[in-house]
Amino acid sequence: MKAYTGALRDGRAIHYVDKKRWLWLLSVFYPLQPFIAIWLHARTGNEAWIVLPFLSNYLIAPIIDWAIGEDRNNPPEEVVMQLDRDPYYRRLTYAAVPLHFITLIFAVWYAATQPMSWWAFVVLAAFTGLTAGLAINTAHELGHKNSKLEKLLAKIVLAVPAYGHFTVEHNRGHHKYVATHHDPASARMGESIYKFAFREIPGAFLSAWAVERERLESRGKTVWSANNQILQPYALTALLSVLLLVAFGWKVVPFLMIHNIFAYWQLTSANYVEHYGLLRKIGDDGKLEPCQPHHSWNSNHIFSNLVLFHLERHSDHHSHPLRRYQSLRHFENLPRLPNGYFGMYVLAYMPWLWFKVMDPRLMELPHVRGDLDNVNIDPAAHPSIFLKWGRDKMIEPTCTDLPDL
């Protein structure tokens, strides 16, 4: 395996080997899961196989994360520059882009041309949409980089889930206002994922449009132009959709509608668990405090991180957005999720269970200290939350130290 060598301050050499180097290929091939279900259905004729990817993601994957556990190791800072510059890791993100298109085109072809019941058609479209949500994750990794190629590939891959405004809103909106009341993509304590979705999905688009309008107008350009970074990927989506419709017929329309809804839902699920209830405060100078690692929920669970380009080390990502996925760090005393994202999604889909598990974790965080003034609360849920977690029920923090950046 490839070793990276650096020098410590005292002159001693330090060597680092990324033991997960080849396992990162899982992030590239994970979106191909619909092929497995389609192959099994084609071989057996049993439509029950179409459901298999749902079971593997929302039952088997959380169990794997629980069984394998967490990896809290960090690459030494002395070799991070070498690790970031290794082209192997960039090429994996490049390779994922065409595979997202291949998955969508093949699934559309199969659903539109092969005999299957209406429910199997819906399930296949839904799960293909969830894997298209992973295309947004690929765009997330690519869109944060300064490379023109990577920014272009981010726009291209967003054509698959029909979510062309993502990089604009995420980079210039979400990262600016994360863990505040102004951010549509930061979930609030007491807010169910279903209520959050109705705020986050339209809110993200409106936020992106406002940001892009401001950027273009500051350059003396109209928002309705080829320079609009939101319209560019949406134009690719329209072109792709028309080509699929011409090639495979009217069934493409309901397939893509279901597909896109579930792609949006996948992103909403990730956004919901990443910043639930966390709050950045306004300082005495009236300025918003800088985003710190403790403003994101973190997870070091191995399997789900390997299939999501390390997305779950979200705390370091928000503190250092340009840092590449293979170099993201773990910090002690961070807000920690009890499972990987797939398991947390299942928990979130049952709000009563989510609140039971996550609200105590939120209130016990060292920077919250049982004080609701340190929590991003859903205004509609505030009365019930105050009754349960009010100042007369202060919680002793389990730790007093916060991580350094």
> Is position 11 within any domain?
no
Q: Does residue 401 register a pLDDT over 70?
A: no
Share of the chain above pLDDT 90, in %: 85
Quote the pLDDT of residue 214. Answer: 95
Q: How far apart are CA 7 and CA 5, in angstroms?
A: 7
Instruction: Print the domain residue range for 326.
Output: 22-393
Q: Is residue 183 part of a domain?
A: yes
Long-range contacts of 279-282 (CB under 8 A, 24+ apart): 279/179, 279/180, 279/374, 279/375, 279/376, 280/178, 280/179, 280/180, 281/374
At 6-23, the pLDDT tens digits run: 777 777 888 888 999 999
Mean pLDDT to the nearest integer, 307-316 = 96
Is residue 273 domain-resident?
Answer: yes
Distance CA 377, CA 367 (A): 15
Residue type, 126: A
* Two tokens, residue 281: 């405060």
Yes or no: say if 37 and 124 are a contact pair by the CB < 8 Å rule. Answer: yes
Is 10 inside any structural domain?
Answer: no
**Among the listed residues 346, 338, 292, the one whose alpha carbon sits nearest the alpha carbon of residue 315:** 292
Sign of CA dihedral 151, 154, 156, 159: negative
Three-class SS state of 9: coil
Q: What is the DSSP code string of 88-133?
A: HHHHHHHHHHHHHHHHHHHHHHHHHHS---HHHHHHHHHHHHHHHH
Instruction: Say if 258 falls within a structural domain.
Output: yes
Q: Is residue 12 part of a domain?
A: no
Residue 398 covered by a domain: no
Query: Is position 171 within any domain?
Result: yes
**Number of domains comprising the chain:** 1
Q: Which residues pair with 4 in a beta bridge?
A: 16
Listed as own residue / partner, the contacts of 151-155 with beta carbons closer than 8 Å and 24 or more positions apart are: 153/93, 153/94, 153/97, 155/229, 155/232, 155/233, 155/236
Please tell me the distance from the alpha carbon of residue 183 to that of residue 271, in angstroms, as a whole number: 11
DSSP helix/strand/coil, 52? helix
DSSP H helices in 183-274: 193-218, 231-248, 252-274
At 373 the pLDDT is: 92
Cα Rg of the chain (Å, integer)? 22
Q: What is the pLDDT of residues 39-92, one digit of tens each?
A: 999 999 999 999 999 999 999 999 999 999 999 999 988 888 899 999 999 999
**With 60 as the cut, is the pLDDT of residue 144 above it?**
yes
Q: What is the pLDDT of residue 391?
A: 58
- Per-residue confidence at 295, pLDDT binned at 50, 70, 90? very high
